[in-house]
Structure 1
Amino acid sequence: MHSTASRPLRVALSVAAASLVLSVALAGCSPTPSGTLAQPASAGGSVTESAAGLTDDDGYIPDGSSLPLDSDLPAVSRLDPDLLSALKDAQDAMQGDSSGPGITIADGWRSERYQEHLFAQAVQEYGSEEEAEKWVKRGSDSAHVRGEAVDIADAGAMDYLNRYGSEWGLCQVYANEAWHFELRTEPGGDCPAQSPDGRG
């Protein structure tokens, strides 16, 4: 069943659910086998397509799915090489610190067409362009379109990157999006103050 909620809202709900799983796991209960709620998207063979006609070539990742950092699909392969390298280095360190899962992404590179579709959805969801801009940038204004941003799918990886990501230059950019990371500092530097939302 396809949700009519905007992608940022669906990601927020996924983050809330993943945080609940993480809280239960930390309380001593067993986590899910993969450590995440999201499952890998189509890795080849068949083309994933949304109801709006978006495909893998647009960077489309189906709701509830995620991609590993070694995926050859455009959402990962068209990321800025420095961003992808930093994420892989952080993943290596994270896996070295624990037996936790790797980093998976719910969103990475997106085509401008996909970004415009997401903005239009957000306008419908939030009732105005001004409110939508808190969550979704327009077209080429988005770091996702430039391949310079990822939305992390797993709450454990989000937490790790929030605590240690600056070691690789990775920073959470928006206070209202715990999942959105970009390269915003030199490795080992301090992350800049987060913007309250996508307008800042």
Structure 2
Amino acid sequence: MVRVSPRSRVAGWPAAVPVVLVFLVALAALALTALGACAPTGPGPEGGGGPAPATDLPVTRLTPLGEDDGYLGEGEGVSPFTEDLPLLTRMDPELLKAVRAAATEARTAGVDVVVTSGWRSERYQQFLLDAAVTVYADEEEAARWVATPQASSHVSGEAVDIGRTDAADWMGRYGAAHGLCQTYANEMWHFELAVEPGGTCPAPRADASAG
């Protein structure tokens, strides 16, 4: 039997802070961009550097969003077996079932799967899109990493982001056995139900702007 630990979280900021702080952080991000600072980085397909998941954008360190929006906080992740979080409970039931089945299999291989993002409210998705525009200082570049609320598969509950490089890599290799496929080439952490269990995943689209 697989033992599932309770929520595993990295300490983060409170769920609600004054909006003015968000504005100040946004200004700071703009200033860094103007100075030529690099965009935030995270694990790439080979475990190296690359742009981080949308939920790791610096602007999200201070946010008025809460768990009811599907928000966890920068750097946090939870077990996919957690029962009481909207980011999991409002996901498509078949997607959640597949993620849990894959996580159980991964655990036998010594890989711990955590979910860093699942279902998101429309205002959370809009917040991430606004943050991306601020950080990248370019709407087209932001659109490569964060979809609009109307187009986002997170808002519809049909996408999940897998945390830790080894877990995302494992999911990319073996997730198709459960119907899970990496759907964007530039986001090794983003998975959706794209095939029947055991099927062959289609080639991922270039990025979120590809539709």
Same structural fold, with TM-score higher than 0.5 when normalized by the shorter chain: yes
Consecutive aligned runs of 4 or more in structure 1 exceeding 3 Å deviation: 1-5
Q: What's the secondary structure of 1:151's corresponding residue? A: strand
Give the aligned partner of residue 53 of structure 1.
Answer: 64
What does 1:13-52 align with in structure 2 at a 5 Å threshold?
A: 13=42, 15=43, 19=47, 51-52=62-63
Give the aligned partner of residue 158 of structure 2.
Answer: 148
Give the one of 70, 89, 101 matched to 1:77. 89
Q: What's the secondary structure of 1:134's corresponding residue? A: helix
Separation of aligned partners in 2, 1:60 and 1:127:
24
Number of aligned residue pairs: 164
Q: What's the secondary structure of 2:192's corresponding residue? A: strand
Q: 1:109-157 CA distances to partner (integer Å, 9 max, x unpaired)?
A: 1000000010011111122221111000011210000111111111121
Give the aligned partner of residue 65 of structure 1.
Answer: 76
Separation of aligned partners in 2, 1:99 and 1:189:
24
Q: What's the secondary structure of 2:100's corresponding residue? A: helix
Separation of aligned partners in 1, 2:150 and 2:144:
16
Unaligned stretches of 5+ residues in structure 1:
21-48
1:50, CA displacement in angstroms?
Answer: 6.5
Give the one of 99, 105, 110 matched to 1:99. 110
Separation of aligned partners in 2, 1:65 and 1:54:
14
Q: 1:145-197 CA distances to partner (integer Å, 9 max, x unpaired)?
A: 01111111111211111111111110001111011000011111111111111
C-alpha contact (below 8 Å) 1:112/1:145 kept by paired residues: yes
Q: What's the secondary structure of 2:115's corresponding residue? A: strand
Q: 1:9-50 CA distances to partner (integer Å, 9 max, x unpaired)?
A: 65x52x36x947xxxxxxxxxxxxxxxxxxxxxxxxxxxx96
Amino acid at match of 1:184: A
C-alpha contact (below 8 Å) 2:61/2:74 kept by paired residues: no
Give the one of 87, 95, 98 matched to 2:99. 87
What does 1:121-140 align with in structure 2 at a 5 Å threshold?
A: 121-140=131-150
Give the aligned partner of residue 6 of structure 2.
Answer: none
Separation of aligned partners in 2, 1:194 and 1:100:
23
Amino acid at match of 1:159: D
C-alpha contact (below 8 Å) 1:119/1:138 kept by paired residues: yes
Unaligned stretches of 5+ residues in structure 2:
1-11, 14-24, 30-38, 49-59
Separation of aligned partners in 1, 2:87 and 2:205:
25
Separation of aligned partners in 2, 1:187 and 1:110:
25
C-alpha contact (below 8 Å) 1:67/1:76 kept by paired residues: no
